[in-house]
Amino acid sequence: MGVEPSVESLSIVFVDEDGRLSSVASVLAELDYPVETTTVEDLVAAADGAFDLAIVLDAPPLNDADEGVDGVENYLDATERLSVPVAIYSIDCDHACLKRAIDAGATVVSTTPDRAELIYRQFRHAAGMETHFQSDPDLLNSLLEYYPHHIFLKDDAGRFEAMSAATAREYGFDREELVGLTDYEVLDPQTARETYEEEQALMDSGEPTVNRIDHWIDEKGRPRWMSITKAPRYDEDGEPIGIVGSSRDVTEEKRQEQMVREVHEASRELVRAESRADIGRVARNLTADIPVFSHIQMALRSDGVLQGVPEESAAADGDLFEQYERYYTRAFEMGDPQYVTAAETNGKSTADDLTAAILPLGEHGALGLSADADVFTDFGIDLAHILASNVEAALDRAERERELERQNERLEEFASIVSHDLRNPLNVASAAAELVDEETESDNVVRIKNALERMDRLIEALLTLARKGKVVGETEFVSVGAAARDAWQVVKSPEATLDVDSSGVVAADRNRLVELFENLFRNAIEHGRSDVTVRVGVRDAGDGFYVSDDGPGVDPEIREQIFEMGYSEDADGTGYGLYIVSTIAEAHGWTIEAGESDEGGARFDVTGAAIESLEESAERNR
């Protein structure tokens, strides 16, 4: 709010060679204040008139060819040639520019032209027409009377010499009444003695105390925290004559920190919850974990209907879900938070008078929290949203795990059927075929045995798929080379060769990684020569590994199709081997692509698998 200016007229001359100060002169002319402006092109013309203030320009270059206007040089030139005060109006003055001008003794005004009244008052100050910034006891009195935190000065005996009104009110006095008193009059004896000894030691050491946090219980039984800063003060000879101190009530900040810790701990409990029932149990106990909320209750969807999660003991304000069921329903169906006032008006009120907040939990339901109105500040509401997000994330995780468990149960059932109900009859048929083959030589028997062997491979592939369908197990750092060599022992051919050029390790489920190599090796042997050479190595980029061979390679037109389930160009192939490879890679978050090796054979690159060297792995394990 502006201050009514003096009726004393202000006459200003703008030294403006190129018109860049015209906008400032124009806005001043529009003010309803006694101000007269004159614009001249140089200091010679300015010296001819009688003015209260001269304004010179400081401006950056207009373009690459322009050098700009140096306001300090203009100021120094003007002060030598004019007999009136001079100020600089800067169009774009950074800190370095301002410091240089002030060091030269100049007053700098850089307020934009739209703040005309402020410019006017700055110019009056530069002209010496305002005493506003001169030393005045009223300025100190304003500070002490209106500053909202504690400020105090004590002498070397510990007596209050001056203090803010907030400090005096803390002790139940006004400022004049507290002058001359000590802590022994206003505090309990032990606290007064400790404070006196602390302040005497502070004056002896000369070391200030900065932002020390003190905690106590006030007369109403409430916990309080105060941030305290004290420093010695000295006379002209450098002798300590007392202390100056300030303190600020940080109870609300500490309370918020406590709320954050409580929500964090409750969130850790939610992370540890393994099922929807466990999450419900944790939610029931949240009130004990987060006491600032008087009541917390979750409602979950069951058969398309919201149902409140039962509580182990009734809350003082009753069942929150029964009390605010329509708000729960609205939050769930609309996906928007609902805020409830004491009058239960429309659920859309501001946070000033809230008694409950009902927050959506995605597709699961809604979470309700009730508390005193002072809890539902912006901070309290943000904290409630964080808690609801953590509950929703826990429910999402539990739902995913429950679905995976159901899938695994179906896969186990499928594997059991394949393993027993199909393999047992197949074993009987294979044994019978062997007996027939011993008794007679027939091409039909050979075809039967080949068909039975193909069926056995199909069953083995189906069992592998069933095992792969499960979640990838716990990962560990596995040697790529060791896993490849283990896989080679299972599928190696007498004439085939494995060349491992890898000393790296990768985070993987070891059994699944071995399966991946087994299927890639089997693919190389079955589709290549009997003396095929298979190589395993780490990619140059260190982002994965590869398996290559010197066989016939893969036709570029089918390099994407070969990873599809059931795809095979071999009439005797199952079409599952490379599909298993791709699904194992995907389960680890990797990507696999088929290409051509340096020898013209097939190359399979697995990327997205960060490889560590053995040295890095050893350093990590220290």
Q: pLDDT confidence of 280, banded at 50, 70, 90? A: confident
Q: Torsion-angle region of residue 384: left (phi > 0), alpha (psi -120 to 50) or beta?
A: alpha
For position 347, what pLDDT does the model report? 47
**The residue type at 184:** Y
Integer distance in angstroms from the first to the last C-alpha of the chain?
Answer: 66
Percent residues over pLDDT 90 in the chain: 28
Partners of 613 in beta bridges: 504
For position 601, what pLDDT does the model report? 92
CATH match of 137-249 with 2.40.30.170: no
Q: Does the pLDDT value for residue 345 go beyond 50?
A: no
Q: How many angstroms separate the CA atoms of 509 and 529, rounded?
A: 31
Q: How many angstroms separate the CA atoms of 469 and 507, rounded?
A: 19
Q: Does the pLDDT value for residue 459 go beyond 90?
A: no
- Supply 462's token pair: 């189906």
Q: How many angstroms separate the CA atoms of 604 and 563, rounded?
A: 11
Q: Does the pLDDT value for residue 2 go beyond 60?
A: no
Q: pLDDT confidence of 262, banded at 50, 70, 90? A: confident
Highest mean pLDDT (candidates 201-210, 316-325, 410-419): 201-210
For position 125, what pLDDT does the model report? 87
- The CATH number of 472-619, from 3.10.310.10, 3.30.565.10, 3.30.365.10, 3.30.460.20, is 3.30.565.10
Asked if 449 contacts 430 with a C-beta cutoff of 8 angstroms, the reply is yes
The CA distances from residue 26 to 37, 38, 108, 116, 284, in Å, are 9, 11, 19, 9, 69
Q: pLDDT confidence of 346, banded at 50, 70, 90? A: very low
Lowest mean pLDDT among 145-154, 195-204, 210-219, 358-367: 210-219
**Averaged pLDDT, 255-269:** 82
Q: pLDDT confidence of 375, banded at 50, 70, 90? A: confident
Q: Does the pLDDT value for residue 598 go beyond 80?
A: yes
Question: How many Cβ atoms sit within 10 Å of the Cβ of residue 9?
Answer: 11
CB under 8 Å to 474, separation ≥6 — which residues? 509
DSSP symbols for 306-375: EEEPPPSS--TT--HHHHTHHHHHHHHHH---EEEETT---SB--GGGEEEEEEE-TTSEEEEEE--GGG
What is the b/e burial string over 127-159, where b = at least 16 CB atoms within 10 angstroms of the residue's CB? bebbeeeeeeeeeeeeebeeeeebbbbbeeebb
Q: What pLDDT, in 10s, does the model give residues 532-552?
A: 999 999 988 888 999 999 988
Sheet holding 611-613, edge to edge: 476-479, 504-508, 611-613
Q: pLDDT confidence of 1, banded at 50, 70, 90? A: very low
- The CATH number of 255-394, from 3.30.450.40, 3.40.1190.20, 3.30.750.24, 2.70.160.11, is 3.30.450.40
Q: pLDDT confidence of 480, banded at 50, 70, 90? A: very high
Higher pLDDT, residue 472 or 271: 271
For position 332, what pLDDT does the model report? 93
Lowest mean pLDDT among 68-72, 247-251, 369-373: 369-373
- Supply 448's token pair: 């039967």
Provide the sign of the torsion angle of the four alpha carbons 464, 465, 470, 471, taken in this order. positive
Q: Does the pLDDT value for residue 6 go beyond 70?
A: no
Q: Does the pLDDT value for residue 119 go beyond 50?
A: yes
Q: What pLDDT, in 10s, does the model give residues 96-117?
A: 888 888 898 888 887 787 888 8
Q: Where are the alpha helices (DSSP H) in 417-442?
A: 423-439
**Strand, helix or coil for residue 569:** coil
Higher pLDDT, residue 31 or 195: 195
Higher pLDDT, residue 620 or 609: 609
- The CATH number of 10-126, from 1.25.40.10, 2.40.50.140, 3.40.640.10, 3.40.50.2300, is 3.40.50.2300
User: Within a 13 Å sphere around the CA of 94, how many CA atoms are in the beta-carbon half?
Assistant: 2
Would you say the CATH fold of 472-619 matches that of 10-126? no
Nearest to residue 376, comparing CAs of 324, 341, 336, 330?
341
Q: Does the pLDDT value for residue 89 go beyond 70?
A: yes
Q: Does the pLDDT value for residue 440 go beyond 80?
A: no
Domain boundaries along the sequence of the chain: 10-126, 137-249, 255-394, 404-464, 472-619
**Strand, helix or coil for residue 128:** coil
Asked if 611 contacts 542 with a C-beta cutoff of 8 angstroms, the reply is yes
The CA distances from residue 178 to 151, 162, 226, 243, 463, in Å, are 13, 8, 20, 16, 88
Q: What pLDDT, in 10s, does the model give residues 33-82?
A: 888 888 888 898 888 888 999 999 998 888 888 888 888 999 999 999 99
